[in-house]
Amino acid sequence: MDVILDPCTTIVAFRSTFPVPSITIAARMRVVGSCAETAAAEKTTTNSRAWNRMAHYNPLTRPMLKPITAFVFAAALMALASESPEVDWPVYGGDQGGTKYSRLTDVNPSNVSRLKAAWEWKTGEKALPAHGTRPGNFQTTPLMIDNVLYFSTPYNRVVALNADTGAELWSFDPKAYEDGQPPNGTGFVHRGVAAWRDGAAGNKLRIFINSRYRLICLDAATGHGRSTGRTTRTRRRPLCTRT
């Protein structure tokens, strides 16, 4: 499936209209800016390693894109889960090789026009005059692990959603905005999160986010912080200290 992202604050999931037992979400990412451009999705297939890439939005080089909507295409399974198992998307590039390839074939040119909205989720993030900050463009590649989507928002929040329903399971706010606006000219932005299983703790899943000068480890089940590392600058390299 494809994840089509705009400068936005909303995720909308789509489900196909034909009867199926469940849905699944994987991720490949393109930036699409207008209704006309969304037609490009019809040319995309999920069983090929090749697809068209569109330039990421940059307010310094191109005008604001409309409508402001983020779409998550949730492909409906064509068979029972035992026959067509869920495929996780545990890292940004899909796998450790960064191939950005999914073997799922549920969304393709023949059925993309029949997708219907299944759920949506909004960041709710706004400018904070007290801190002199504003959120930038919402662009993220969600990780999908065990039917849960993990991603970050412009203000560096980490959010976990149920992939089937869009229900928010938990969110973690590192309050990155308290350090003021980053001097990037685009507002607050964040690329995403990373996942890792702790073999020393029963193979429990951990979610990591780098927020400003901190590396934060979260319990994937609860969103509670496990540890925080602060980066301090030296002449040779940054050092991480645990707090």
Model confidence, pTM:
0.64
Q: Could you tell me the residue ranges of all domains in the chain?
A: 3-242
DSSP bridge partners of 144: 89, 149
- What is the share, in percent, of the chain residues with pLDDT greater than 90? 37
* Rounded average pLDDT over 125-151: 92
pLDDT band, very low/low/confident/very high, at 105 (cuts 50, 70, 90) = confident
- Of 61 and 186, the one with more pLDDT: 186
- Of 156 and 236, the one with more pLDDT: 156
**Dihedral sign for Cα atoms in the order 180, 185, 188, 194:** negative
Phi/psi at 108 (nearest 5 deg)? Answer: -150, 175
pLDDT band, very low/low/confident/very high, at 163 (cuts 50, 70, 90) = very high
- Of 90 and 48, the one with more pLDDT: 90
* Rounded average pLDDT over 188-198: 89
